[in-house]
Each structure stands twice: as structure tokens, then as C-alpha cells.
Structure 1
Amino acid sequence: MAAEATQRGDHAQGHRVRDDGVRREHLPFHRLSEAGVLALARGDGGGDVVAELLNAERSRRLLLLRALDDELSRGAPPARRAEPVGERPVRYAEAWTLLTRAQHRSPEAFEDVLMSPNTGMWVSLAVRRARGRAYEEAPRWVVVGHLAALAAAAAARAGLDFSITVPVRGGLVPLPTLGCAVLPDGKAWSTARVTGHGGRLRISGSGGEVEVAPPWDVRVPGWHPRRLLTLGSGEGAKTLVLEDLDPYRTFPRPSEPRPLPEPEAELWRSLLAGAWDTVLRDDPESAEAMRRGLMSLTPTESRERFRPHSSTAGDAFGALTASRPDDVAQLAATLVHEFQHTKLGGLMHLEALTVPPPQPSSPEHLLYAPWRDDPRPLGGLLQGIYAFLGVTRFWRAHRQAATPADAPTAHFEFALWRTQVWSTLNAVRGHEQLTPLGRRVVESLHARCAEWMADEVPAAELRLAQEAAEDHLARWRAHHLRPPAAAVDEAVRAWRHGAARPPASLAAEPMLVPDTEARFLDGAAVLARHHLGDPDGTWRHTAAHDDGDAGGVDGAGPADVLLARGDSAGARAAYVDRLARKGAPVSAWAGLGRALADDPAHRAASWLLLRHPERARALQDALEAATGRRADPVDLAAWLASGGTAES
């Protein structure tokens, strides 16, 4: 297989593949067609483009397998240095030989195992582990020995007769693409013997044995089969693995198999069926791409309402993890969001969009991301732009098909993400770290988003979206930006001496000082969704509990809830009271700015707190340190904004 692993794969005109340091100069490069580049640069790309990306991904994995073999061939086999005491060792060479046999007997079976997203994740981590970097607690022989489990699965699918030793994780024996056996073994790490005859498997380990026959999808004692779902029907049908067994289904680190209870699996089947039908109707090109390239979804623990969590990894092409969604539309948007990451990750494996900054660890190279609490490097920001452009595209179409009850939320989501993507694209255009391809992608996405900026959105939902975007940016600035220290000291002296205006030096460009404690900066958007979905709901009384698990909204205080309920006067009083006391939350400055927005007498203070809340925060903290007292926050903001009179 080693020779074939480096020589197969088609190539066409366009962009060339990189292979993470294991390139063979005599090999042809993968090239993406010009039509594929054009489609991906616009945030689009159907099944044909995904097929090109998958073809390149296949070669990348074969090269990584070759790299792993090269690393392990330089010294003694790892299993001989760290064998499980008293058990058969996992022999890497034995696994490699069996995998080669399976490839020759049944290339289709080999391809199924090779192109599983989890295989991509494993081989990438295994190469890093072989080079001395650990990403999981499992011993090195368990990580490398996972190749034996892959080989056993491929051999079983190919109908080979074989016997091989595989790693066991806490009594669980995952066989990728087939299922997971359960043995009565309490050890954290041990081994089992997998024997195959005509596809029938016997898994034997400490104190137990499990037998399973093809097609391996029937649950028998000691065996959890892989869950393969069929979504939709006819030409719109899509197969998807509901993944709960493979240890390399999660990222950036593996996790042990967790078989889903059947009721939970049934709920996911229903949600995914509805989400797939929604994507088919509202974003058919994405559905076409996902039909070819989306392979598995791993459920993760539920999250607070309106704060779902999902992720992908460039090494696991075709996989995503997702927390249980609030509804079908949210899950449909998640599928689109994460597959956008998958497409861009595939493109970035072929050619870079950015070059490293001169000083990679310097905060000055981090940027504002409207969908994150923390500052992000340019590469990560491009991933977010690309994903949320897809989300914007989805909500743009979905709002036309939504029910009257759901339409307000759909309009809000479209308006919010359109605003956030547009502002971020404008911020990164022409960035010095963009490569020629990166500039092309940014310009194409900018042109695409520009097409949507004139789309009409109902006034109420548009206003809420604009306020949520404004609030997030203000909270981010309050947490992560700092005015020059000398300017703050000068402002303290000016304030205490009753100067008419703050010093001009305070308007200098602030420094980025990442605040690792920043959390839940999207509170205004979450509260807006509660309001749109259920204006008179219980959230009006429970959201301020500040605990998502108890029905509240994490990070939201009583003043935030009053503001979301439309009580600006009550919110203002609550913010002022909180900010006048020690230990006030940083984000309260942004909330006060919004609460003052409709008051003509305080528009200047509102403007200052929404555009430059970091100045108010820094000056208030400095005044407290110098005098032991905190100034009235509205007076302080007004002084900073327009040079109003201040008391010493």
C-alpha cells in the first residue's frame, strides 16, 4: 500500500496541494479547477467542487499514513517499548500488513475506512504523537495501535480471514465504520484479539467475548453498531452517521465512546430529518455539497437555549459535532455553518489564504470577531467570515419560508449576520497578511455580501439586530482594549481639577490587551431571540438568574433584562447603580450606553459608551484607585464625550 498510497489520485488545472512536510517531489500536485476556485471564493460550491476537495483530501491522508510509517520505521516499534503487561502487544507492522491486504482485496472497503472523517483526525494526531506531541492521555501504543482497529474494520468489510490485536479503552473496543464492542474489562488501557472469518467477527479480551456477523448494524449483547441514518427520500436522500462510538469523532482532542441512549438517538433522527428537508428547500446548493461531503454528526451535551455549540476540524473532513439544537431551523443553520468550515478547510489544505504575522504571539495581530468573545488571528477570522456568510445566506432564504410565528426570528438572524459579516469583511480587506488567493476570497465574499445589504428587513427586527451588533462590539472593546496609561493618568488629573474636557491624548489608539475572563458577550442577541420568540414569556423573570441551566441567560443581569423588555429608564437606573459600586461587570458600560440612546439629553454619553467604552472603564478604575471613590457613570461618560463639567 505504501507505493500506491503516494501515487493514486487525479489532478486538474488550478491550485496545488501541500502535504504538511511529507511532499514527494516526483509526484503530481492536486489542482483545483478554476470553476471550483470561483465557486468557493463566493462561499458557494456544490457536489462537483466537494468531489475535487475530497480527491485531494484522500491523497493527503495517504501521505500522512506514509509519514506515520516513516516516523515509526526509524526506531523500534513503539509497542515493543510499551506493551500492556501480560497481554498480546499491538503490533504496528501487523496492522499495516492487514490494511494493505484489505486494500488489495476490496478497494471500496479500504476507501470507506480511509475516508471516514475520524480516520483523518486520527492519522493527523498519530503523526504528531509519533513526533513527540501528545493530544490525549492515551499511551503512545494505544494511539499508534488504533491503526490495528482500522485494519480490522477494513479487513472485515473486505471479507478477509484474519486475526489481530487491537487497543481497548476502558473495556470498549471501537472498530471504525462498524461499531463498538463492550468487554468486562475495568482497565483504562488494554488489548483484545479481533478474529474475522467471512465478515463474522469475534472480539476476545479480558474475561469476555463478543461475536457479531455482517452487516454489523444489528445490536446484539456486547455490540453497539454504528448508527447510519437516511435523511429525506428519492433524489433528495442523504446518508449520515450519527457518530457516538469512534474515539476520534471529537476535536481537537479524542474522547471515549459514549453510546447514545435510544430515546436520544431517536430525537436526533427526527431533528436531522427536519433540518435536512429545510436545507434542501432553502439552500439547495449547500444540500448538494453536503450530500457528497457531509458524513457524520457527533452529538454533544446540550447547551443554554440560543447558544448552541458546534465545531469542525480541518483534519476531519466531513464531520461535525453539535449540541442538541433548540429547533429544526437552528440545526439547519448549524449544518450550513459547519460545512462552510469544511469547504474552506479543504481549500486551505490546497493553498494558504494568509501568511504568518511577523510576530505571531503579539496581540497586535489579533482582530475583532463579532461571533466570538475573544480576539482572533486573521486565519481564524476568515473561517468565521466564511461560515457566517453561509449562515446569512441560509437565513436570507429561510425567512421567506418561515411560519408567521418564526419569521421575526428569521428576519433578525439574517439582519444580524449580514451586518456582522459585512463589517468584518470591510475590516480585513487589503490586510497585509492575505495571500493572493486570500485577497481573492475576501473580495469575492465582499461582493456577495454587498448584494444582500439592500434587502429589506422589517423595522423592529432590523433595529434589534443593529442593537445586538452594536452591543457586542461595545462589550468586546470594554473588555479587550486599554487607552494609553499616561493618557488615563492625565485624564484623572483633569477630572479631579474640574477641567472642561478630557485630554486629547485619551483619544489615541487603544492597546489590545486580551481579557481571558470575557464571557457571554452575545447577551443582547440572546435576549432579543427570547423576546422575538416569546415576548411575554417567563424569560422576562428568569433571564436575570445569570445561569443558563436554571432558565436564565448566562452573563445577563437585571439591567440587561430590563433593557430587553423595553424599560430603558429602569435599565438606566440599574446600570448606574451597578457601575457606581465596586466590582461592576465590565459589560455594563455598553448596556448603559444603549439605555441612554433614546434620551436626547444623554446622546453624547451614549455615543461614547457604545463607541469607546474602554475609556470610561479605564478612567473609572483609575479614579477608584486614586480616590477610593467611583464617579457617577453618566456624568463621567458625558465628560469624556463632550467636555462637560465634572466635580472633583
Structure 2
Amino acid sequence: MNPLEIPGPRLRRMGETRPVPGEAAVLEGWLHSRRLVLLKTLLTRAERTPLPAPAAGALRAHWALLEDAEQLDPAAARRALGSPAAGNWLAHALAAPPGEDFAAAVADLGALAAVVALATGADFRLDLPVSAGRLTLPGLGAYLCAAPRVRVAAHGGTVTFAPPDGAPNSLARGALLRHEVPPAGPWRPLNRLPGGRAVLDDRDPHLAREEGRTGLAGLLPTTVTAPGEAREWRELWTRALALLRDADPERAAEVAALVRTVVPVRWKPDGRASATRLAAPWAVLTTLPESPEEMAEVLVHEVQHSKLAVLGGVVRLDHESAEAVYRVGWRSDPRPLGAVVQGTYAHLALADLWGRLADRTAAPAAERAAARRRAADYRTQVDHALFLLMGSGQLTRQGTEFVEGMRRRHERLGSPGGPAVRAAEHTDRGDPAGNAEIAADRLTNGHFG
């Protein structure tokens, strides 16, 4: 895909990390263009690969359904194809080795085509493969079935799942798309998170296949099974959004609009961390946060990674070199320049976030003081990273514009250790209620970026 020529002023605005009116639509448009390129790349590979006749015929049918659904409702098709689950499947299929693995990966296009058709209102009938006792419709849920295949048919407002040797199960199309829980039956929807369009996705089969410390930076997808666990996630999400609305309404609106899935993961014993897959923007992979403040930080941090992942798919920001690595304040290992750009962008947003949390007049004084110190810590880290980036000589012209936007925002946030920070430190020493600041000071900095 040829790089876009994005005007300098827009790149500088994006570099500031602040939500910009209309930016979400632009980002989703760029992501859709990238997804179409990858889909066509996959189709070209499939056409040049000797597939079994049934697999080749199914691929043609699934591709035709995608095209028909897109013509029926382009906007709905774009939203469905822009889901993190679609990105995970594409990454898995494009990386699959030739032979049976590639044929099996291509077969999963049928489930994605079904999801797009459901979203656009298209009617269809497909026989889809079942894996490990379930047919997963990415981003929607799973149909439990012991048979090797199940027929999925959509007509008007009804969707029917029909295994070969069992009773069919019908659901309302709208209820399925809204992730409503049916009163009975084998359909298991994903848990919807209130206040946005996000779901708690613990069933993405293509993400699960990335298990191992090399696949997801050591994070392992986990299933929500314990009673009340999904409720705990929903409550943390709700309280984090409320906290963001109180401190930064624009940022809260951005998180609610952009985050599509929250993926529960586990890390080392009792470890807390979060990450974003560049192939699947708008998904937040995270261990269970311990507080609304930590959840808010995770969401803001990973949204920035998603935004930059989309931008990096259409614009080259740096001339990365395998030999050139840099040390930054938030990681113990040396990082290539592209990772430094990613981390600086996310940590700049966190400096902004904690500064705004510190300005909440209703918050206790000790919490505000701790938030000021945390903001100062992030500003210090970003200050050093910006110095590395601007002196690297590896930024492209557009990368230089983007980093200039970060520099401007950092400058407006104030210098680390400035008067406000020193005043906060003075207040802390005289505050008898020092315990209130401990929770904020222990918030995770284990973001993979």
C-alpha cells in the first residue's frame, strides 16, 4: 500500500495525542483501506495456492458474500471489517504456512463473511466448520456444537443455527448483533461493556493460537469463567469511564468511541500488564486492573497505541535500523526507534491524563498530589524520549511533523519538577492522610510500549 501524503498540520495535531473532532472517522477510513489491501493480498495468495476443490469453492462463495454485503451497506461492512477480531484472523491467515494450515485459515473467512453479512442485513446460508466444539462468529460470540459443521442461515430478522443431527436454534438478528443473552440454547454472546461499543472478548480463536511468550509479549489470553468475573470487568470499565468523564470528557468520549474489545489476559504470577496488537487496533489486552484509575490509564495508553498502529499502516514515520536501539525510562530493554515513537506517544497521553486527574477539585488532596507526581514522572520520561527521537536522524519528514506535535503538547504540559510539582511535594510532607496517595503511586507501569 502506497504511503498517504498527510498534511503536516494534521500530523502535528495527531502527535499531540489529544482527541480531534472527526479523527475517529479518519482513522477508521485508513484502517478500512489497509484491511482491504490485506484481504486482497490473501485472496491473491489463495488463488496461487493449490487448494482442495471444496476449499476453493467455499472461498469463492465467502468472498462473493463479502462483496454483496458491502454493496448492501458499505458503512456497516466497514465497521465489521474494522473489528479487532477481523485483524487477528487476517494476521493469522497471512502468516499461515502453505498446505493444511493455510487451507484451514482461509476456511475461517466464512465466519467473518457471516459477521459482515449479519451487520449489513444481508441474507445468506453457509455451512461453517466447528473447532473445539464451537463455531465462533468473530466479535459476536460462539455457537456450541459437537458436530464438525453447522449451517448458519440469515433471512430477514432471523438467524438460524442448524447442526446436521440436532434441532435448529433461531435468534433475532438484532438481538445477536446487540450481544443480548438468549433465555436458553447453545448460543453464547460476548459480554457487552456499557457506555460504548466495546465487548469483553475472551473467545477469539485466532488470538488464542498466539499463545506463548513470543506471540503476545508474554501475555496469555484467558477465559472469563469464575462467577462474577464478567461483572467485575463491567464495573471497572464503567467506573473508569466515569472517572475519565469527570477529569477529561473529550478523552472519555474517545475511549468509548474507539475501543471495540477488551481482552482478558494473564501474565506472570500476580503481574499486571497491558498491550495492543498492531494487527488489531481498538482491542485492549490487559490483566484485570486493581482500580478504576488503573483501568483508565490502561484504556488511554492502549488507545494511543491503536491510533498510532493505524497511522503507521498508511504513513512511514521513521527509517528504522536494526542496529540503532535506544533506552527509555519505561523499559529496561533497548528499543528500536519505532517502539520509542509508540511509547513516547502513549506516555505523553498519560502525562496529560494524570495532570487532569490532579486538577479534580472534588478529589482528596493526597490523591491529587500523588497524581501530580505521577504526571511529572511521565513528563520526565517523555522529555528524555523526545530528545532521543529528535536527535536520531531516523525520522522521515512526516515523522518529524508528528514528533513536533508531541513536543508541542509536552511543552504545554509544563516542565518536570516545575512549581506545581514542588508545591504538591510540599503538601504531601505536611498531609497527615498520606495513605490515600499509595494506591495511585502503585499503579502499573507494565504497558508493553
Normalised TM-score (structure 2): 0.82
Please show how residues 254-293 of structure 1 align to structure 2 within 5 Å.
258=223, 260-261=225-226, 263-293=228-258
Aligned counterpart, 2:307:
343
* Aligned Cα root-mean-square deviation (Å): 3.5
Shift of 1:396: 0.8
Aligned counterpart, 2:386:
425
Shift of 1:405: 4.8
Please tell me whether residue 172 in structure 1 is matched to residue 137 in structure 2.
no
Please tell me whether residue 127 in structure 1 is matched to residue 64 in structure 2.
no
Aligned counterpart, 1:63:
37
Partner of residue 330 from structure 1, selected from 290, 294, 297 = 294
Shift of 1:259: 5.2
Q: Return the index of the structure with the highest Cα Rg.
A: 1
Aligned counterpart, 2:66:
99
Given that 1:157 and 1:199 are in contact with CA atoms closer than 8 Å, whether structure 2 keeps it comes out as no
* Count of residues in Structure 1 that have an aligned counterpart in Structure 2: 420
- In the alignment, the residues of structure 2 paired with residue 56 and residue 228 of structure 1 have an alpha-carbon distance, to the nearest angstrom, of 26
Given that 2:193 and 2:199 are in contact with CA atoms closer than 8 Å, whether structure 1 keeps it comes out as yes
Shift of 1:532: 4.5
- In the alignment, the residues of structure 2 paired with residue 33 and residue 328 of structure 1 have an alpha-carbon distance, to the nearest angstrom, of 37
- How big is each residue's C-alpha offset from its partner over 1:148-198, in whole Å with a ceiling of 9 and x where there is no partner? 00112233344444322323221121112432111236xxxx543323333
- In the alignment, the residues of structure 2 paired with residue 240 and residue 436 of structure 1 have an alpha-carbon distance, to the nearest angstrom, of 35
Determine helix, strand or coil for the equivalent of 1:300: strand
Partner of residue 311 from structure 1, selected from 243, 255, 275 = 275
Letter matched to residue 37 of structure 1: L
Please show how residues 184-583 of structure 1 align to structure 2 within 5 Å.
184=146, 190-205=148-163, 208=166, 211-214=169-172, 215-216=175-176, 217-219=180-182, 220-231=184-195, 238-248=196-206, 252=215, 258=223, 260-261=225-226, 263-301=228-266, 308-357=272-321, 360=322, 362=323, 365-401=324-360, 402-451=363-412, 452-453=414-415, 454-458=418-422, 532-533=437-438
Aligned counterpart, 2:116:
154
Given that 2:141 and 2:188 are in contact with CA atoms closer than 8 Å, whether structure 1 keeps it comes out as yes
Given that 1:45 and 1:286 are in contact with CA atoms closer than 8 Å, whether structure 2 keeps it comes out as yes
Aligned counterpart, 2:431:
none
- How big is each residue's C-alpha offset from its partner over 1:613-641, in whole Å with a ceiling of 9 and x where there is no partner? xxxxxxxxxxxxxxxxxxxxxxxxxxxxx
Letter matched to residue 371 of structure 1: W
Shift of 1:428: 2.9
Given that 1:148 and 1:166 are in contact with CA atoms closer than 8 Å, whether structure 2 keeps it comes out as yes
- In the alignment, the residues of structure 2 paired with residue 455 and residue 181 of structure 1 have an alpha-carbon distance, to the nearest angstrom, of 59
- In the alignment, the residues of structure 2 paired with residue 255 and residue 327 of structure 1 have an alpha-carbon distance, to the nearest angstrom, of 21
Give the direction of change, closer, same or farther, for the CA distance of 1:403–1:173 in structure 2 (3 Å limit). Answer: farther
Given that 2:151 and 2:162 are in contact with CA atoms closer than 8 Å, whether structure 1 keeps it comes out as yes
Given that 1:57 and 1:346 are in contact with CA atoms closer than 8 Å, whether structure 2 keeps it comes out as yes
Given that 1:203 and 1:210 are in contact with CA atoms closer than 8 Å, whether structure 2 keeps it comes out as yes
Shift of 1:45: 3.4
Given that 2:222 and 2:264 are in contact with CA atoms closer than 8 Å, whether structure 1 keeps it comes out as no
- In the alignment, the residues of structure 2 paired with residue 285 and residue 201 of structure 1 have an alpha-carbon distance, to the nearest angstrom, of 38
- In the alignment, the residues of structure 2 paired with residue 350 and residue 396 of structure 1 have an alpha-carbon distance, to the nearest angstrom, of 32
Normalised TM-score (structure 1): 0.58
- In the alignment, the residues of structure 2 paired with residue 375 and residue 30 of structure 1 have an alpha-carbon distance, to the nearest angstrom, of 30
Aligned counterpart, 2:82:
115
Given that 1:422 and 1:449 are in contact with CA atoms closer than 8 Å, whether structure 2 keeps it comes out as yes
Structure 2 residue runs without a partner (length 5+): 429-433
Given that 1:183 and 1:210 are in contact with CA atoms closer than 8 Å, whether structure 2 keeps it comes out as no
Determine helix, strand or coil for the equivalent of 1:213: strand
Determine helix, strand or coil for the equivalent of 2:150: strand
Give the direction of change, closer, same or farther, for the CA distance of 1:148–1:40 in structure 2 (3 Å limit). Answer: same
- In the alignment, the residues of structure 2 paired with residue 54 and residue 158 of structure 1 have an alpha-carbon distance, to the nearest angstrom, of 17
- In the alignment, the residues of structure 1 paired with residue 439 and residue 303 of structure 2 have an alpha-carbon distance, to the nearest angstrom, of 30
Letter matched to residue 67 of structure 2: T
- In the alignment, the residues of structure 2 paired with residue 330 and residue 317 of structure 1 have an alpha-carbon distance, to the nearest angstrom, of 20
Letter matched to residue 304 of structure 2: Q
Shift of 1:429: 2.1
Give the direction of change, closer, same or farther, for the CA distance of 1:222–1:345 in structure 2 (3 Å limit). Answer: same
